[in-house]
Amino acid sequence: MTRQSHANIIWQRRAQLLIGQDDGQWLDVSELRIRFHVEQALVGKPGHAVITVNNMANDTAQRIQREGAPVILQAGHEGNAGLIFRGTAIQIRRGRESQTDTFLEITAIDGDVAYMYATVNVSMAAGWTHTDQLKEMQKGMQAKGVDPGYTGELYQNKAVRGKALFGAVRDHMHDFSVSTGTEWAINMGKMDVVPVGGILPDEAFLLTPDTGLIGMPTQSVDGIHVRALLNPCFRAGAQVKLQNSSIVMAQINPAYADVTYNAPIDLDGAYKIYSVSHTGDTRGNDYYTDMICTGLNTPPPLSDVFRETVGNRGY
């Protein structure tokens, strides 16, 4: 089901930054100026964030200046704010931007420990399925703090031979995604596994100028580039609906022998979000979400069908 109207949203910014301390308590620094850039994509890697807090008291900064501190960032607008990042700090640095303004910058990764150190060591007897294999890798991730997330449908054919899994989970997940036609990512402390032609079970978001679209979506080689008001509903693997008439189509240059194949426009205006970037400044102008999307009901740009279609144009 597609959301048809979001006119009731009040475009008033909301942001909350919580930083964990050694005693297990959370420090809320939301009253200070916060600037952030959060990125997440279905590329088999964790999401990450760079968050800057201005003019934090010296004693407060000293209490949280440690690697491994948990970080939670929520952002959005009144009536539509939510979690956009959960992870751990891999670096916290302090500095001065001017004679009067200091900063504390947090670089954090979602599921960093699990991505780096989660392992699997198991022998599966003949008759195992892809679901069995994924469960073993999920156990390794969960032991390092990343829980199972959404998993799309997998083939349940039983293998005729046994299989040994040994080593880093991230390496086995790469092989698993290739063999099963899936994509995966660590998002908000969970590992999502999404079929290449599938989406997360989130409600599709109809994005128009009335619901937060900024400017005009543009077509390119790697997808449809979209900018909207910052919205936590947008995440890698989710679906967004666009009005195709608003998309600025890319121009093919016939001067090149090798034609550049741009991402197709979906006939139904249904797009899968592959990459999401949230950028915000609680006391500045920036407060938006950038996305790279691909059509759900169209062949990929480099498919044989697409090559043949373009080739028939005589380029």
Report pLDDT digits (tens) over 207-229.
Answer: 999 999 999 999 988 899 999 99
pLDDT at 248 over 90: yes
Residue 308 banded pLDDT, cuts 50, 70, 90? very low
Report pLDDT digits (tens) over 4-24.
Answer: 344 444 358 899 999 988 777
Write down the pLDDT at residue 314: 38
Which segments of 100-192 does DSSP mark as H helices, in order? 112-117, 130-143, 169-180
Write down the pLDDT at residue 258: 57
Report pLDDT digits (tens) over 264-296.
Answer: 889 899 999 999 999 999 999 899 999 999 998
pLDDT at 136 over 80: yes
The Cβ of residue 18 has, within 10 Å, a number of other Cβ atoms equal to 16
pLDDT at 199 over 70: yes
Average per-residue pLDDT for the chain? 87
**Would you list the DSSP string of 225-237?**
EEEEE--TT--TT
* DSSP helix/strand/coil, 41: strand
